[in-house]
Structure 1
Amino acid sequence: MQQPQTSSSRWGPNLLAILLGLAGLAAAGGGLWLALLGGSWYYLPAGLAMLGTAWLLWHRRPSALPLHALLVLATLAWALWEAGLDWWPLAARGGAIFILGALLLIPPVTRALAVPEGARQPSPARGGGLALSAALALALLAGGAALFNDPHRIEGRLREARLPLPPAPRAIPDGEWHAYGRTGLGQRYSPLDQITPRNVGSLEVAWHYRTGDTPGQPGDPEETTFQVTPLKIGDRLHLCTPHQNVIALEADTGREVWRYQPRVRDGLALQHLTCRGLSYHDPAAYPPAATPPAPEAVRPAAENSAATSISLPDAAEGARRVESCARKLFMPTADGRLIALDPETGGVCTSFGESGQINLWANMPHPKPGGYYSTSPVVVTRHLVIIGGTVLDNVSTREPSGVIRAFDVNTGGLVWNWDPGDPEQTEPLPPGRTYTPNSPNSWSISSVDEALGLVYVPMGNQPPDQWGASRDEDAARYSSSVVALELATGRVRWVFQTVHHDLWDYDVPAQPSLLDLAIGGSRVPALVQPTKQG
């Protein structure tokens, strides 16, 4: 006796058939286009198989189950051939097929296929269900093996005989740390050798220091973090806190020597609040024989405020003023400024920029307090201070520009600007014009090789991360890339993209490390770049 069909047994299979049909159309159509472009042929037959399964399911044919079982097995074989036991590539290729197969085994579907309308004997759906279950179990087994497998791990040992490090562009005593990566090369290598794997366990705490700067203050975003890498200059440590307090400590005792606390504009709509470090400039550290000609500032620092509608506090308010600083510390602030300080006294270097600071909102489109700021230390060369910044992410497509700017390290005048949305125009913009809105930005730390005359900029994705429909050719080219810019002009020397058409927030998140490799008996300059992809 035939069982009456319930509402779920009628509509459940129909909805799943529609879903399979839409997925099949998308896979077959996109697969045909991909095949014509010279890509994989898998998606076209896979899409046709899903369309076949959808038709069979709509007409309550039990053969829908073994057909999808064949698709699962074919997909598994293709995915293993292309990706091996690598979880994420494997899941990306077969995850949707697996989920659709699991939906085909839910009771409303199997009941609808078990006794087709008008039939008087059991249908072969039971056998098809077993075949699909077995195929899914095999795919699940492969996925489980991939989840606990690391195909990217390489077992091996580094050769003890290494090339000597290339000379630093400026003299740095062994016991000092003058930049985020110790030097602009980003190598993070200290030549000190007193601490070894054998005696490191015997170290004892010499002193500790509390900054007094804690998260949870009014207006703090949820991501308020302490990420600073202190600088060791002479007998002092210099560090900054999340709220941009700059502190100098005696390295031997931890005693506070001075503290600079800027007044930061209120009402900032921040997503992150941190200060990853300071940047240091000492002109006396550069050897005279290696002096390249200084590029000329095209736009005086006094014109910065005229190029923006956002007014910012005075950097020297309530602080010591130093008219002329032989050496400088540079710190970006959360409200969009770059401030220069005297490392000896903590005073503001008023001859730099406009009374000691640069207003980074100059020529910025869509100005909104907190919508643009730099969380990372700037790049400092003999003649330039180079800065990028972050913008509010995943909020809109009307954000400030991701422009990279180079200022004269002594005067603060703008020397060049590289806008990823207008990469050929590096001459400083006059007041009244703005950079390209929403262009890819660089929120991480850049590296510099002054001997080669290049700065290496790790680029983020164009916001919003998961929306790629509005990206033009330039945004598509420079998103999630490492870009080499000429120090003299700001022009692009080369670009290497780590992810094409990035929709997954794969910003290049770390400072590049510049080193020399021994290849074929020659010393070859190389760049090593960590990414979010491991």
Structure 2
Amino acid sequence: MAPGKTPRGMVNVLKWLLAVLMMVIGLAIGILGYQLVAVGGSFYFLIMGIVMVVAAGLIITNHLSGILLYALAFIVSLFWSVNDAGWSFWPLFSRLFTFGVLALLAALLWPLLRAQQRATPLRKSSFSLAGVLAVLLLVSAGGMFKTWNVIAPTEAIPVKPVAAGTAQQDWKHWGNTTHGDRFAALDQINKQNVNQLKVAWVAHTGDIPQSNGSGAEDQNTPLQVGDTLYVCTPYSKVLALDVDSGKEKWRYDAKATAPNWQRCRGLGYYEESQALASAAQSTSPAACPRRLFLPTTDARLIAINADNGKVCDDFGDHGVVDLGVGMGEIKPGYYQQTSTPLVAGNVVVVGGRVADNFSTGEPPGVVRAYDVHSGKLAWAWDPGNPAITGLPPEGQTYTRGTPNVWSAMSYDAKLNLIYLPTGNATPDFWAGERTALDDKYSSSVVAVDATTGKVRWHYQTTHHDLWDFDLPSQPTLFDLPDGKGHTTPVLVQTSKQGMIFMLNRETGEPVAKVEERPVPAGNVQGERYSPTQPYSVGMPMIGNQTLKESDMWGATPIDLLLCRIAFKSMRHQGVFTPPGLDRSLQFPGSLGGMNWGSVSLDPNHNLIFVNDMRLGLANYMVPRTNVAKNASGIEMGIVPMEGTPFGAMRERFLSPLGIPCQQPPFGTMSAVDLSTGKLVWQVPVGTVEDTGPLGIRMHMPIPIGMPTLGASLSTQSGLLFFAGTQDFYLRAFDTATGKEIWKDRLPVGSQSGPMTYVSPKTGKQYIIINAGGARQSPDRGDYVIAYALPDKQ
């Protein structure tokens, strides 16, 4: 080709590629931008769309002014984006990357189009600019694989060795202890050697949770006592495994049936310490000095001999207590056990999951304690009728539709107090018919006497709850040093609204400051509204900011725009936005915030570790006449709330691609100093490797920070283990910094809590994790996986 000649075919291909892309994107942005303006949103997208369409038309007709017009618009977009989103990577990426690609194509076309028109091509300057844009785009693409939104610690946190005689011996409770600390005083596996962890053995339960809408999930944290590991499955089976090999010792099948919500987060364990020695020498099959308590999905409590898997015949009716006694009618799936029973001294205590939002008058929220030996009812706490402390009088039931305790409870043996995290009376989003006692004990920490069940104190975290902000997590008990040689007995309670409450567990008074702040009132006829709500301002608030339009996000400008339109079309007034007949946004939504996984503790440095999810909920009330007869939205969709004037629509606040509409991260792990009430560090957790837009796996480890669900494990060696992510990994973090220092690929995802122990036979420390499938993932399994350091050669 002669000097100065322009490759006409190349020019035309590049020109039409740029013009068509710019026209299509410009039209979409312009049309959606007009809709955004119509609902009171930003004018930027409408203007940008118009400019892009005009520029595309000029480029098609070979006018260089089209490229100049787009260049000007792109420069303005740079300034607008920074002003709109600040200097945060993910918001800027969604606003600018697509426009940057068009700018690169325009820079490449500019000299070719000039040459075709016999003007000075300016190739050197144009291609230099194109090179700069290409490098910036590549750097931006590479930035997707970097971890952003990290809050780094400001000072070092040393590791304290395990003191002589204080090493953990067994893991006897769901949270390791009845204080729910999830802390192991073990340091064989430490920061220096954790990268050598290998799979030691794998066991299979044979119980794969089916993700077919039934709600079956493996969320179990096993127990370990001596040389045996105890595992429960979603379908109410129990397995005893050898701690060193995973070999099955025995298996028990409760043959439980339930239409939904099948899971077992943990077992209860009790041992008759004085009888252990004699029982070990006894051959009597009736001897049951070590017993497990299995909560079933069909509302039974079963005592099982921990040594052989046989039922303890002296407990209840041949090993079984029927939890339906005194409850009245229980429709299938309306009442069941999902969380661990609490063994508190000589009683085993159970609450129960009550189905949300089907109707008023659902099964009672009563909490009951049974004698660990006989199974006889020791006491009952009926939130709706404190006069009933045992079985209801003949012909009566416990008060129906009362606040329940579906999550795990904690126990302080010294104070003889059991701490109950309560839910709210059903249904969740309409409370005009709730009683004074419903309102009194709803969404509260209730401390009851372990001997009598009498309430000593209670503290409410949400008044007249209209948001399903029930307390989802086990209270964590800790003796907090005051710096003067004394300690304060505290209780730490996380909440769905992204708050952390720290109370004196002896009195119920806040240790960290709580303010009653005014909140907006709704206008639904027949409803009443609390004028204020408690804000735990003495502790960090995590992922519960009041959103604004500029907080919206999308993988592209199109879904970013759709999210902005959706947001501006809704009413959002902060955490306690009241439900109404109009579409409103609740953030965080009813999943949290924080959920049932609870926190883990580092008692040596007064730290707690908190994982969260950041998912909004779009909702509105549906008049009774418009609620379909088959409405049953267990999680999302229209819930009937029969017995009230309304049903309620619930939808996740997601883009059309299925991505949360607010900017990342969507889930984090945080360290909080209980002494100062300050956030020490925070890191996004989880990648999109095993999920993605429209549910399509991206197969890329982009650490955007995904919603988390599950428990964590803290160890004396400064390690934090966690697997409750959307991708299929068990991870170890440095508790001093939050830095991920090890991970291993799991066969499927996990919602279970890691636990650890040292084998009494081999002296080897193991990390155990159940892997049954991540929430919303179709990949399911029945794995129990043990990790350990390799044997020394």
Preserved contact between residue 365 and residue 436 of structure 1 (Cα < 8 Å)? no
Preserved contact between residue 388 and residue 443 of structure 1 (Cα < 8 Å)? yes
| 1:207 has 2:207 as partner | no
Q: CA deviation at 1:460?
A: 1.3
Correspondent of 1:279 among 263, 268, 282 = 268
> Corresponding residue for 1:216?
210
The one-letter code sitting in structure 2 at the alignment partner of 1:241 is T
Correspondent of 2:351 among 376, 388, 396 = 388
Preserved contact between residue 280 and residue 328 of structure 1 (Cα < 8 Å)? yes
1:494 & 1:154 partners in 2: Cα distance?
Answer: 38
Preserved contact between residue 366 and residue 437 of structure 1 (Cα < 8 Å)? no
Change (3 A) 1:214 1:383: same
Q: CA deviation at 1:492?
A: 1.0
Q: CA deviation at 1:498?
A: 1.5
Question: Residue 466 of structure 2: SS of its match in structure 1?
Answer: coil
1:473 & 1:222 partners in 2: Cα distance?
Answer: 35
2:386 & 2:221 partners in 1: Cα distance?
Answer: 32
> Corresponding residue for 1:263?
255
Q: CA deviation at 1:495?
A: 1.1
Question: Residue 529 of structure 1: SS of its match in structure 2?
Answer: strand
| 1:527 has 2:516 as partner | no
Which structure 2 residues correspond to residues 222-261 of structure 1 after superposition, within 5 A?
A: 222-261=214-253
The one-letter code sitting in structure 1 at the alignment partner of 2:197 is L
Change (3 A) 1:172 1:198: closer
| 1:346 has 2:340 as partner | no
Which structure 2 residues correspond to residues 7-26 of structure 1 after superposition, within 5 A?
A: none
Q: CA deviation at 1:156?
A: 4.9
Correspondent of 2:366 among 403, 406, 414 = 403
Preserved contact between residue 332 and residue 377 of structure 1 (Cα < 8 Å)? yes
Q: CA deviation at 1:158?
A: 8.0
Q: CA deviation at 1:520?
A: 5.2
2:368 & 2:39 partners in 1: Cα distance?
Answer: 50
Q: CA deviation at 1:431?
A: 3.9
Which structure 2 residues correspond to residues 288-367 of structure 1 after superposition, within 5 A?
A: 322-367=285-330
Which structure 2 residues correspond to residues 69-218 of structure 1 after superposition, within 5 A?
A: 101=40, 156=154, 174-216=168-210
Q: Give CA deviations for 1:187-208 in whole Å, capped at 9, x if unaligned.
A: 1111111111111110111110
Preserved contact between residue 278 and residue 330 of structure 1 (Cα < 8 Å)? yes
The one-letter code sitting in structure 2 at the alignment partner of 1:184 is T
2:270 & 2:455 partners in 1: Cα distance?
Answer: 25
1:400 & 1:372 partners in 2: Cα distance?
Answer: 7
Which structure 2 residues correspond to residues 407-446 of structure 1 after superposition, within 5 A?
A: 407-446=370-409
Change (3 A) 1:369 1:157: farther
Q: CA deviation at 1:381?
A: 2.0
Q: CA deviation at 1:173?
A: 7.0
For normalisation by structure 2, the TM-score amounts to 0.42
Q: Which has the higher strand share?
A: 2
Q: CA deviation at 1:374?
A: 1.0
Q: CA deviation at 1:101?
A: 3.8
Preserved contact between residue 167 and residue 185 of structure 2 (Cα < 8 Å)? no
2:462 & 2:492 partners in 1: Cα distance?
Answer: 16
- Runs (5+) with no aligned partner, structure 1: 1-97, 108-137, 166-170, 288-320
For CA contacts below 8 A with separation 6 or more, give which structure has more relative contact order.
2
2:464 & 2:87 partners in 1: Cα distance?
Answer: 30
- Percent of matched pairs sharing the same residue: 42
The one-letter code sitting in structure 2 at the alignment partner of 1:405 is R
Change (3 A) 1:99 1:395: farther
Change (3 A) 1:159 1:345: same
1:384 & 1:523 partners in 2: Cα distance?
Answer: 28
Change (3 A) 1:457 1:261: same
2:411 & 2:254 partners in 1: Cα distance?
Answer: 29
1:158 & 1:363 partners in 2: Cα distance?
Answer: 55
Preserved contact between residue 336 and residue 370 of structure 1 (Cα < 8 Å)? no
Q: Which has the higher helix share?
A: 1
2:222 & 2:303 partners in 1: Cα distance?
Answer: 17
The one-letter code sitting in structure 1 at the alignment partner of 2:337 is S
Q: CA deviation at 1:499?
A: 1.5
After superposition, the CA RMSD in angstroms is 3.6
2:213 & 2:191 partners in 1: Cα distance?
Answer: 40
Q: Give CA deviations for 1:218-275 in whole Å, capped at 9, x if unaligned.
A: xx7532100100001110100101001100000001100000012224xx443x1101
Counting matched residue pairs gives 365
> Corresponding residue for 1:465?
428
Preserved contact between residue 381 and residue 453 of structure 2 (Cα < 8 Å)? yes
Q: Give CA deviations for 1:361-412 in whole Å, capped at 9, x if unaligned.
A: 0110332232111101101022101100011111111210010001111101
Correspondent of 1:510 among 473, 481, 490 = 473
Q: CA deviation at 1:153?
A: 6.9
